[in-house]
Structure 1
Amino acid sequence: MTEGVHRRGLRFLRDRWRVVVRLAGWSVLETGQTFLTGYALARALDEGFLAGRPGVGLAWLGVAGLGVLVGAYGTVRVYGAVAALVEPLRDRLVARVVGRGVREADAGALSGLTQQVEIARDTFAGLVMVSRSFVFTAIGAIAGLVSLDPLLLLVVAPPLAAGLGLFAATLRPLARRQEAFLVADEALADRLGAVCPGLRDITAAGAEERVAATTGSRVDAEFRAARSLARWGVLRVASLALGGQLPIVLLLACAPWLLDHGVTPGALVGALAYVTQSLLPALHNLVHGLGTSGSRLAVVLRRLTRESSSGGGAGADAGAEDEARTGAGAGTRAENEGRSRTAPDSAPRTHPADGTPTAPTHPTEAPSSPPALSLSSVTFAYGPHATPVIDDLDLTLPPGAHLAVVGPSGIGKSTLAALVAGLLEPGRGTVRLCGHPVPGPEAAALRVLIPQEAYVFTGTLAENLGHLRPDPVPEAELVAAAEAVGLLPLFEALGGPTATVDPAALSAGERQLVALTRAYLAHAPLALLDEATCHLDARAEERAERAFAERPGGTLVVVAHRISSARRADRVLVMDGRHTAYGTHDELVCRSASYRALVGGWTPGPSEPPLALGDPDRVDAIAGPGLAGDGRHVVAHGPVGQVQTPRDLRHRGSLGGEG
């Protein structure tokens, strides 16, 4: 492929030989400038200042200045010749890209037209300039050294030739590694471009580890390519030191010998000027220009001149994006496969704070069955020196349990839900789901979290509801789940499972019903409702909670915002800083002052509209049948009228989505 690009490049230059000749002609003026840089300086010293004739010395310096002006004029004309050589290349590439885009409907044509063509033009122009500059500068400097004294050439030429030889020997492998690095960098950029917009999808599907692994492999590939390129880059620096800096050292070291063999002081100074002012800068530009830009130009030209778009360019990018976007769902499906449901009421319950024994277990209970949820001495704080939000909490729930978590605003209820879901890690203690440690892939497959800000994406209703299932959900099961949770009126109003869902057209309560039904259809036995019904009225909330509580083998944890949620639960966990209490509603009313204060502060009837959630889609949710409005949220977690911002994760934002 590289040979093909080279052949086409040589043919392109041969077809424009007149432009190449004109470019070389104007470059001769720069050669004259380089020649005079050292020659005029040597004559100014030997025949002028060192001979006591300052006028002659100034005259030679004037000649050198005149050479600079002539060279500058040549440089201006060189740019015109370079433009005459480069612009036809750009026009040819544009015509090829546009033709392929129209002929093949190539999705990458726009990127090729707006970016890659310009990269090719600018890089080609730079390569022409640095290559031409080195060739004519080297000719002028070598001619000047010979004119001053051939002995000088014997000192400068060998290291210069050795440096060029080393650079030429490393050019091809260096170009291959540069290309490998560019390809790895573009692959990583494509991957990140596909993954970053889908972070909510990935989090919602619980596929963080799979996506992190595949993205990490791209990062490792780029790191290996960069390290290999750096190793060969050392040889590039060595060639520059050998060809451009060693001659300076040799000239200085051999100065006594050169002077003894007839080299004049002015000639020695002129030779140093040739090396430091002409050869070294030109060699530096050549090494860095060809070593970096040359391989980049080869990569871009191969992409722009490929005969078809299959297997590369936009097609490959789209494939990577599709893989990244479907990876989350595939990871969730893999985790869901083989998941078994657990029989309800199969583990003992313990009191987390005061040690009060709970109700005995069923006689038929299998003693070896792990609890659905187990917290052991869990402590969490938002910072090493912060006061713990959760302090030394113990809690055990059997499969099939229904727990309501209540407490004042900001006490840590959502933090507890995040710890159980694995979104946060405790500073001390352990969390386990069905015996599996949290966080972990096994535990992530066993829980589904529904936060306040429900996640709904553009797609069909069936795709939204079945997002956490490994395979498409039958319509009959979708209808049954919608009926159980209370989504059926909206299900029918939208037009059934094949109807397209526009998240911006749904109210916040309707989005919550969609998210609740999706979680109901998931295989995860533990459902975490973090005020996930705050936009529903009391009747709709009761229906949704009862549906989750009656799921076979399902365990339900509800961060409650109404007293009715606590009354419906088997057990209630009261969080009040270091003083927690656990028991039934009636037990806690009798023995927990904190719970009695909360119950007394709860107002009967439907809750007030919640605070605006700052929805990123800027949706002003509209209340519908069975749905509350979305204005302000009077929280039933303290005295009447206390207002709570609908999130508990201080400095961390909302939990981010179901998973």
Structure 2
Amino acid sequence: MADADGTRGGGTVRAGFRFLRGRRRAVAALAGWSLLESVQTFALGYALARALDDGFLAGRTATGLAWLGVAGLGALVGALGTARVYRALAALAEPFRDLLVRRVVARGLGAALRDGTGDTAVVSRLTHQVEIARDSFAGVVMVARSFVFTALGALVGLASLAPPLLLVVLPPLLLGLALFFGTLRPLARRQRELLVADEELAEELGVTAGGLRDVAAAGAQESVRDRAGARIDAERRAADSLARWGVSRALAVGIGGRLPVVLLVVLAPWLLDRGVTAGALAAALTYLTQALLPALQSLVHGFGSAGARLTVVIGRLTRDTGAPTHERTSGTPSAPGPGEGPAAPDSAPDPAAPDPGAARIADPGAGTAATSPEPRAPRRDAGRADVPALEARGVSFAYGPGAQPVLEGLDLVVPHGGWLAVVGPSGIGKSTLALLAAGLLEPRDGEILVGGVPAAPAPAASRVLIPQEAYVFGGSVRDNLTYYGPRGDDEVHASARAVGADALVARLGGLDAEVDPRALSAGERQLLALTRAHLAPAPLAVLDEATCHLDPAAEERAERAFARREGGTLIVVAHRLSSARRAGRVLVLDGTHAVTGTHREVAEHSPLYRDLTGIWSSRPGSPGQGSSQPARPLGDTDGVDAVAGPGLAGDGRHVVPHRAVGEAEPVRDLRDRGPLGGDG
């Protein structure tokens, strides 16, 4: 970086001088009006010395007042010069800005038009960065001009009053300037390093903030934290280095501006012995404290910061901007979608037997039943068939040290190629179990194994989690669906047909069409996310109410598509009875203990499941249910319904079905159509 910086800095200085040489008239006008300012500086000290030596100290008050009047007149002349300086400066700064704009347009937008690729940084260069460069350029010219002409007026005044004064003032001034200009390039380099580190940190944090769900879903917290920590450490080191080199600025001001004041006081007897008058000594102190020291401070701090900033910005504005520096390779994700872990092959696949129940699957897009099985997904490396896909051993979890456990002592085995539905009221721990299976949470007690490996450190490629809130990003349909790795078009279309997203893909305009996530419904976003996960090579798929915005037929099609993946294992957090009926096994969570088994087995042993079955059955349009009667306790032979529910004899719509926590009926007016027992 040193060579590059040095070359770039030297090139910037040379380009600046070329720019000034090309505008000699504006430079001459600026120098002429600045010369009037130097008259003010000269008159400030010289008139003061004459007023003291020839006027007040000699007893001639009128002469002293006259010389003070000369100093006031010099201030008026300097004010006139200052007023014209800014107009002359504008004649340099505005053409400089126009030159930068033309350069940015020619290199940035021109390349974008040629290559057909946009560079969004061009907008920043045309606005923010160009304005920074213009203001920095004006600041550099102002402080440099001010110091040169202020120093000229002060030094000419000192030479006119008493040449020995130059022996005291000039050497430390030159030494301070040499120190400042000698450290200017390292300071600019540190300034550039700090700017680059700050940009990299902002970019890293921006990407992380925009993909927090991705990071959590992929279990990449540690790697993201390490990358962000490295960026923070780099910026801190750059800031520390800049601060250390910044000490040289204070040292330059101390040597060049404050040391001469001390020397004048210490060497005052020596100067008086060599003919320096009291008025000349007072004028020298005035020149130093009121002119040279402020001008030197402005030069060091203004030129140091504005000059370094100008060098950095000019280097960025004039570099080749024809192509973006960061390109996303199609099909190669930089981070996973939220709630969905990326997947990669691990070992040889174990083909699963066809699902006989898949012969007729409702197709929501066509409105009729499909008479042939859906195409199988590409083969996946599913791990060893003799190792359970998911195993929970005495798992307990609570959200906080003092919180009640959401799961306690859970034992569960999901075999390789199995299909498990997880049911239970809202807030009972179904999503918690899904997050534990994905490795996004760690159990307080016990362990979760995915493919025989603890879930938290297990490779993200071993499972894919699809949450209720589907993640769709701006880009093409292909980019969204092949986020976990490149796939051929045939594979992508096969997965889209399998989960029922083929009609949506066609309506959007095909795989190359651009996706506007805001224009998609919640169900459409879920279909795209399901297709993306279906294409992932992860052997374990966890659907955490990932089909809640789909109709029952579309939900069935998607679930069967995942269950049919070769060597694939499916865990579904169910919100419909049909999902539980389709699954090979059902896990019922009731907050105290868990019941697992087939649909019939858990209905026999779990009162909560029977209750949930009644609630599900009471919902209009529930598939496979011919009545809205709630479930009766097994063995109830008297035919009396144990729980009041809608649709019972004599119900005049007084009774509404009770729901699980968080699924209560909305408050509304239950209109009484008559006394209990009839509709009157």
TM-score (normalised: structure 1): 0.75
- Matched with 1:564 is 578
Q: Is the 8 A contact 2:395 2:444 kept in 1?
A: no
Query: Are residues 1:84 and 2:91 paired?
Result: yes
Instruction: Give, in angstroms, the shift of residue 164 of structure 1.
Output: 0.9
Q: Distance in 2 between matches of 1:330 and 1:512?
A: 16
Instruction: Give, in angstroms, the shift of residue 524 of structure 1.
Output: 0.8
Query: Are residues 1:410 and 2:427 paired?
Result: yes
1:26-76 per-position Cα deviation (integer Å, ceiling 9, x unaligned): 212211222233344455555666667766655544443333222111111
- Matched with 1:621 is none
Name the aligned partner's letter for residue 170 of structure 1: T
Q: Is the 8 A contact 1:198 1:325 kept in 2?
A: no
Q: Is the 8 A contact 1:379 1:390 kept in 2?
A: yes
Query: Are residues 1:127 and 2:140 paired?
Result: yes
Q: Distance in 1 between matches of 2:289 and 2:57?
A: 22
Whose Rg is larger?
2
Among 546, 560, 564, the alignment partner of 1:532 is 546
Query: Are residues 1:446 and 2:469 paired?
Result: no
Name the aligned partner's letter for residue 595 of structure 2: Y
Q: Is the 8 A contact 1:166 1:239 kept in 2?
A: yes
Q: Distance in 2 between matches of 1:384 and 1:48?
A: 87
1:152-209 per-position Cα deviation (integer Å, ceiling 9, x unaligned): 4333333222111111211233333333444454555566677766777777788777
Query: Are residues 1:11 and 2:26 paired?
Result: no
Q: Distance in 2 between matches of 1:205 and 1:150?
A: 77
- Matched with 1:161 is 174
Report the more deviating stretch, 561-570 or 64-73. Answer: 561-570
Q: Is the 8 A contact 2:350 2:385 kept in 1?
A: no
Q: Is the 8 A contact 1:433 1:443 kept in 2?
A: no
- Matched with 1:239 is 252
Summarize the alignment of residues 338-357 of structure 1 with structure 2, pairs less than 5 Å apart. Answer: 338-341=346-349
Name the aligned partner's letter for residue 134 of structure 1: F
Q: Distance in 2 between matches of 1:405 and 1:330?
A: 25
Q: Is the 8 A contact 2:43 2:71 kept in 1?
A: yes
Summarize the alignment of residues 27-176 of structure 1 with structure 2, pairs less than 5 Å apart. Answer: 27-44=34-51, 59-100=66-107, 104=111, 105=113, 110-176=123-189
Name the aligned partner's letter for residue 295 of structure 1: A
Name the aligned partner's letter for residue 284 of structure 1: Q
- The change in CA–CA distance for 1:479 and 1:230 in structure 2 (over 3 A counts) is same
Instruction: Say how many residue pairs are matched.
Output: 588
- The change in CA–CA distance for 1:504 and 1:39 in structure 2 (over 3 A counts) is closer
Name the aligned partner's letter for residue 486 of structure 2: D
Secondary structure, in 3 states, of the residue corresponding to 1:328? coil
Instruction: Give, in angstroms, the shift of residue 535 of structure 1.
Output: 1.7
Instruction: Give, in angstroms, the shift of residue 230 of structure 1.
Output: 3.1
Name the aligned partner's letter for residue 73 of structure 1: L
Secondary structure, in 3 states, of the residue corresponding to 1:313? coil
Q: Is the 8 A contact 2:12 2:314 kept in 1?
A: yes
Report the more deviating stretch, 205-214 or 449-458. Answer: 205-214
Secondary structure, in 3 states, of the residue corresponding to 1:400? coil
Q: Distance in 1 between matches of 2:43 and 2:151?
A: 13
Name the aligned partner's letter for residue 328 of structure 2: D
Among 430, 433, 446, the alignment partner of 2:450 is 433
- Matched with 1:552 is 566
Q: Distance in 2 between matches of 1:536 and 1:204?
A: 23
Q: Is the 8 A contact 1:194 1:321 kept in 2?
A: no
Query: Are residues 1:322 and 2:331 paired?
Result: no
1:550-596 per-position Cα deviation (integer Å, ceiling 9, x unaligned): 4333222222212333344444444444x232322445445545444
Q: Distance in 2 between matches of 1:473 and 1:23?
A: 67
Q: Distance in 2 between matches of 1:431 and 1:34?
A: 81
Secondary structure, in 3 states, of the residue corresponding to 1:557? strand
1:103-134 per-position Cα deviation (integer Å, ceiling 9, x unaligned): 64375665544344433332222111111111
Q: Distance in 1 between matches of 2:508 and 2:14?
A: 61
- The change in CA–CA distance for 1:93 and 1:589 in structure 2 (over 3 A counts) is closer
- The change in CA–CA distance for 1:59 and 1:433 in structure 2 (over 3 A counts) is farther
Q: Is the 8 A contact 2:394 2:445 kept in 1?
A: no
Instruction: Give, in angstroms, the shift of residue 135 of structure 1.
Output: 0.9
- The change in CA–CA distance for 1:298 and 1:635 in structure 2 (over 3 A counts) is farther
Query: Are residues 1:637 and 2:660 paired?
Result: yes
Name the aligned partner's letter for residue 471 of structure 1: P
Instruction: Give, in angstroms, the shift of residue 286 of structure 1.
Output: 1.1
- Matched with 1:360 is none
Structure 2: tracts of 5 or more residues without a match: 1-6, 354-382, 623-656, 668-680
TM-score (normalised: structure 2): 0.73
Q: Is the 8 A contact 2:341 2:463 kept in 1?
A: no
- Matched with 2:192 is 179
Instruction: Give, in angstroms, the shift of residue 511 of structure 1.
Output: 3.1
- Matched with 2:534 is 520
Q: Distance in 2 between matches of 1:637 and 1:123?
A: 65
1:81-112 per-position Cα deviation (integer Å, ceiling 9, x unaligned): 22223333334444444455676437566554
Secondary structure, in 3 states, of the residue corresponding to 2:25? helix
Summarize the alignment of residues 127-526 of structure 1 with structure 2, pairs less than 5 Å apart. Answer: 127-186=140-199, 222-255=235-268, 266-302=279-315, 304=317, 312-315=320-323, 318-322=324-328, 326-328=332-334, 336-341=344-349, 369=387, 372-374=390-392, 376-381=394-399, 386-390=403-407, 393-426=410-443, 430-440=447-457, 442-457=458-473, 461=477, 463-468=479-484, 470-473=485-488, 475=490, 477-478=491-492, 480-487=494-501, 490=504, 503=517, 506-526=520-540
Name the aligned partner's letter for residue 302 of structure 2: G
Instruction: Give, in angstroms, the shift of residue 4 of structure 1.
Output: 4.4
Instruction: Give, in angstroms, the shift of residue 531 of structure 1.
Output: 0.9
- The change in CA–CA distance for 1:57 and 1:602 in structure 2 (over 3 A counts) is farther
Among 4, 12, 24, the alignment partner of 2:31 is 24
Name the aligned partner's letter for residue 169 of structure 1: G
Instruction: Give, in angstroms, the shift of residue 223 of structure 1.
Output: 4.7
Q: Distance in 2 between matches of 1:366 and 1:77?
A: 84
Q: Is the 8 A contact 1:240 1:287 kept in 2?
A: yes
Q: Is the 8 A contact 1:379 1:429 kept in 2?
A: no
Q: Distance in 1 between matches of 2:283 and 2:444?
A: 72
Name the aligned partner's letter for residue 171 of structure 1: L
Report the more deviating stretch, 416-425 or 498-507. Answer: 498-507
Secondary structure, in 3 states, of the residue corresponding to 1:336? coil
Name the aligned partner's letter for residue 451 of structure 1: P
- Matched with 2:367 is none
Report the more deviating stretch, 221-230 or 134-143. Answer: 221-230
- Matched with 2:378 is none
Secondary structure, in 3 states, of the residue corresponding to 1:411? coil
